[in-house]
Amino acid sequence: MIKIYTSPSCSSCRKVKQWFKEQKIPYVEKNIFAATLNENELKEILMKSENGTEDIISSRSKIVKESGVDLESMTIKELIEFIRANPSALRRPIMVDDNKIQVGYNPEDIRVFIPRARRIAEWACQQCPKYTDCDYTQDEEA
């Protein structure tokens, strides 16, 4: 199941949720301000991020600037406690499934969450000479 970590005032979060609804891809929304993120969720996010804190923490966030923390020198435990105490430091939205993570709304990059079979069908349809007149979701009449 895809988890989307959001905040209520985030326009990118609204775009992501709308995109998932349009694609009919189920997800679970987790408002980062409504409930404290648990340690396992944060470990999962950190493990899947390619560039560690750079991918998920906004260095421009007020809390990061004002606290003067050195994120790179923190232990994993310290980092998790910092995020739990300061969820506004997280970039948003963060989408996580069993294998991957995507941070922010990018219309091209988010397509990795479309099920593989559907992506293959779309690609095959695009190869068809009738592609502009084709709707791959419906069967052609014989």
| 13 catalytically annotated | no
Q: Which of 36, 32, 13 is nearest to 93 (CA)?
A: 13
The shares of helix, strand and coil residues in the chain, as percent rounded to the nearest 5, are 50, 15, 40
Peptide bond into 93 cis (omega under 30): yes
Q: Which of 89, 96, 109 is nearest to 46 (CA)?
A: 96
Residue 64, SS3 per DSSP: helix
Residue 2, SS3 per DSSP: strand
User: Which residues are identified as catalytic?
Assistant: 10
